[in-house]
Amino acid sequence: MNVTQRIMTIAVVALGTMLTRFLPFLVFPAGKTTPRYVQYIGRVLPGAVFSLLVVYCLKNVSLLAAPHGLPEAIAIAVVAALHLWKRQMLLSIAGGTVCYMLLVQLVW
Amino acid sequence: MTTLKLRALKAAFPHTIPIMAGFLFLGMTYGIYMSSLGFSFVYPLGMALIIYAGSMEFVTANLLIGAFNPLQAFLMTLMINARHLFYGLAMLEKYNIPGLKRLYLIFGMSDETFSVNCSAEPPAEVDGSWFMFFVTLLNQSYWVLGAALGGLFGMLLKFNTQGLDFVMTAMFVVIFLENWLKEKNHTSALAGLGISVVCLALFGAEGFIIPAMGGILLALTLLRPRLEKGGEAA
């Protein structure tokens, strides 16, 4: 990507973000009720999107080539264990990332 | 600053202290991450100012090093930020205030700002709209400051950043877990996982996002009778 394409990409993302924030205020003036389908999608979509994002992060991990996704699997286990134990978002993120960095820099 | 605004700022600040810690840390990590990808600190600074949606900024960093695909960037933004629609719906009444403040309140409604403005009750002598304005402004300032500092820090300090990109994975794993622990019914999370993995296998790393999004919306629409009958889905 050249600089112009980068700026365009950032602008598109900014525009999309603003659209998601402003749309409800444009479509549903205060006091009107929202369609049931929209309410339903709003309730159930986040769960599926978080799954998609985790898969997106791991999209370039190859299970066939060494190290077969092992550093990712170990680091995700560390994130999950830390999070279930302490439930401190920053601690889980920092702990898992440091663990992954040590694994890819020193072990593999 | 008039006493009205000063009083609102003083009332707002304590509500933002936990967010300050989180945003400075994550913002700095984001800035260092962008610098590890070869970007000047101007990028995280500018993106923190005009996009101001944390997880989407990490994803954008990734998009910027790939092939130019504005349609995919736009659709990903809509899917990842779709939750804002529902914050908006929840704040229709509260943000129904006159003036330009309203535009900034809506623009700056991140997850954290929403949660404070939705739940916090300012004391009676404090103006509610200025209170919400300062919560929004302070929170964005923390994020912008963190991102800029991280970008600068990453440019000046040359340490081995190999593997730092995992911070994005770790963040989404934590968000996924938080959601998993909160929800009563895991159908949506599992459907999202299954559809994404299948689409990744079918379409490959570069092309799976849009089919996966389509599949997820279709699956959730088809599952609606089941999920709505079961009461609270998420």
Note the pLDDT tens digit of each residue in A55-74: 988 988 988 888 889 999 99
Q: How is chain B split into domains, by residue range?
A: 3-156, 183-229
Q: What share of chain B is helix, strand, coil (3-state, %, to 5)?
A: 75, 0, 25
Give the mean pLDDT of chain B: 89
A53 in the same domain as A15 = no
Tell me whether residue A105 is in a domain. Answer: yes
B199 alpha carbon, distance to own chain's centre: 25
A14 in the same domain as A67 = no
Tell me whether residue A99 is in a domain. Answer: yes
A66 in the same domain as A108 = yes
Note the pLDDT tens digit of each residue in B176-189: 898 899 888 899 99
Tell me whether residue A39 is in a domain. Answer: no
Q: Return residues 134-153 of B near A (CB < 8 Å).
A: none
A11 in the same domain as A54 = no
State whether residue A90 sits within 8 Å of chain B by CB: yes
A54 in the same domain as A29 = no
Instruction: Count how many domains chain A has.
Output: 2
State whether residue B37 sits within 8 Å of chain A by CB: no
pLDDT score recorded for residue A90: 82
Find the residue in B nearest to A21 (Cα): B84
Amino acid (1-letter code) at residue A73: A
A65 in the same domain as A23 = no
CA dihedral A61, B202, B204, A101 (to 10 degrees): -10
A76-85 contacts at long range (C-beta below 8 A, 24 or more positions apart): A76/B169, A76/B170, A76/B173, A79/B170, A79/B173, A79/B174, A80/B173, A80/B177, A83/B173, A83/B174, A83/B177, A83/B178, A84/B177
State whether residue A64 sits within 8 Å of chain B by CB: no
Tell me whether residue A38 is in a domain. Answer: no
Give the nearest partner residue to A9 out of B60, B80, B227, using CB atoms.
B60
For A7, the domain range is 1-33
Q: So what's the ipTM on this one?
A: 0.86
State whether residue A33 sits within 8 Å of chain B by CB: no
Tell me whether residue A27 is in a domain. Answer: yes
pLDDT score recorded for residue A9: 97
A76 in the same domain as A50 = yes
Note the pLDDT tens digit of each residue in A68-93: 899 999 999 999 999 999 998 889 98
pLDDT score recorded for residue A55: 92
Tell me whether residue A40 is in a domain. Answer: no
pLDDT score recorded for residue B234: 42
Note the pLDDT tens digit of each residue in B22-69: 788 889 999 999 999 999 999 999 999 999 998 899 999 999 999 999
Find the residue in A nearest to B183 (Cα): A47
